[in-house]
Amino acid sequence: MGKRSKILKWVLPIVGIVVAAGVFGYLKFFAWNPERQELAMINDRKITVAQFGRELAKIPAPYQDLLKEDPKQFLEQLILKEVLLQEARRQGLKPDPAAKVEEMEITLIQSLLKKEVIDKVKVNQEEVEGIYRQHRDQLGKKPMSEVAPLIEMAIREAKGKDQMEEYIASLRGKAKIEIDEKRLQAAASPAPLTDTGEEFKKALTSGRPVLVDFGANSCMPCRQIRPILQEIKQEYTGKATVLVIDVYKYKELAGEYRVQVIPTLIFFDKSGKEVFRHMGAWDKASMVGKLKEAGAV
């Protein structure tokens, strides 16, 4: 083997390692870096995966869980916010200097909507006087001259609702918006599993008490009691059955049990007979109490 061949024998693997390390470094700090991954581009401004995650983290649970399951809904809110901020800055508007740092963007958007929508709504004196006469007592019987500006602003906001929606839609329509659908889909979380109609029917013949939550994943009060139901399910394993039935998947079953409000909690005794129902969210102690009355020990 010649000298050149010996050198290549040792150099090529080293070059390969260096190249691989360089590629990995690029992927880590650029392609795989959430701070650099574009989720959406609005004109010349981007919303990154990391930014989306930080904004989503500000939303309290269980609202955050719902938005994780449908991230496009939340991304659309961020897009509209960015569109409005860009327009406000283009017009040279300034945020309220007295506002807190986290509120400055909101005050900037409020200034834009006031200038472009609210202030352009026409309000006449007769309308102001009419509202004043109707609500004078609620206004503390203050003279109209004192409360007229507030009444006028309230009328402007009420009248300007439709115009505001049209204005925002118009700005969004003019903006150049690109969304990375694959990354958006990757950011989504699966909706929690619910039980089937067959599992419900089987539970009623199991010889154990049954607690059924007739609800839906899209129902906020339903989602709020899910952790409670899960705790009860674990604590009463082998003693009672706890199920969650999605009323939209099993409309006939929900109709059979006359479910009109969600969540509706229905308790069945060991023979499968309904013994109690509660409409709306409920606390754990009350649920456990009724489950015990149904025969869970």
Find the DSSP H helices in the chain: 3-26, 49-57, 63-69, 71-90, 104-116, 125-134, 144-174, 181-186, 197-204, 220-235, 251-256, 284-293
Rounded CA separation 47/59 (Å): 17
Give the model confidence (pLDDT) of 118-164 as tens digits.
889 999 999 988 988 898 888 888 888 888 999 988 888 888 888 99
- pLDDT recorded at residue 2: 56
Amino acid 137: pLDDT: 85
**Beta partners for residue 276, in sequence order:** 267
pLDDT at 24 over 60: no
CA 292 to chain centre: 35
Query: Mean pLDDT for the chain?
Result: 88
**89 Cβ partners below 8 Å, 6+ apart?**
108
pTM: 0.70
| Region 255-265 average pLDDT | 97
* Structural domains of the chain in order of their starting residue, each with its CATH number: 34-189 (1.10.4030.10), 197-293 (3.40.30.10)
pLDDT of residue 1: 52
Nearest to 272 by CA among 196, 212, 194: 212
Q: Which of 84, 219, 229, 244 is catalytic?
A: 219
Residues in the chain, total: 297
At residue 263, φ and ψ (nearest 5 deg) are: -80, 150
Evaluate if residue 223 carries a pLDDT over 60. Answer: yes
Residue 22 banded pLDDT, cuts 50, 70, 90 = very low
156 as an active site residue: the answer is: no
What mean pLDDT do residues 176-190 have? 94
**pLDDT digits over 35-47, tens only?**
889 999 999 999 9
Exactly one of 42, 79, 93, 222 is catalytic; which is it? Answer: 222
Round to whole Å and give the CA distance between 52 and 75. Answer: 7
Sign of the dihedral through C-alpha 200, 202, 206, 207:
positive
As a whole number, mean pLDDT of residues 215-239 equals: 95
Question: Which residue matches tokens 């994943």?
Answer: 217
Q: Percent of the chain scored above 90 by pLDDT? A: 68
Which has the minimum average pLDDT: 14-28, 58-72, 91-105? 14-28
Q: Which two tokens stand for residue 99?
A: 């506002």
Q: What is the pLDDT of residue 16?
A: 47
The reply to whether 222 belongs to the active site is yes
State how far Cα 136 lies from the chain centre. 39
> 187-205: per-residue pLDDT in tens?
899 989 999 999 999 999 9
In the prediction, which pLDDT does 71 show?
A: 94
Is residue 241 over pLDDT 70?
yes
Measured CA to CA, the distance from residue 259 to residue 265 in angstroms comes to 9
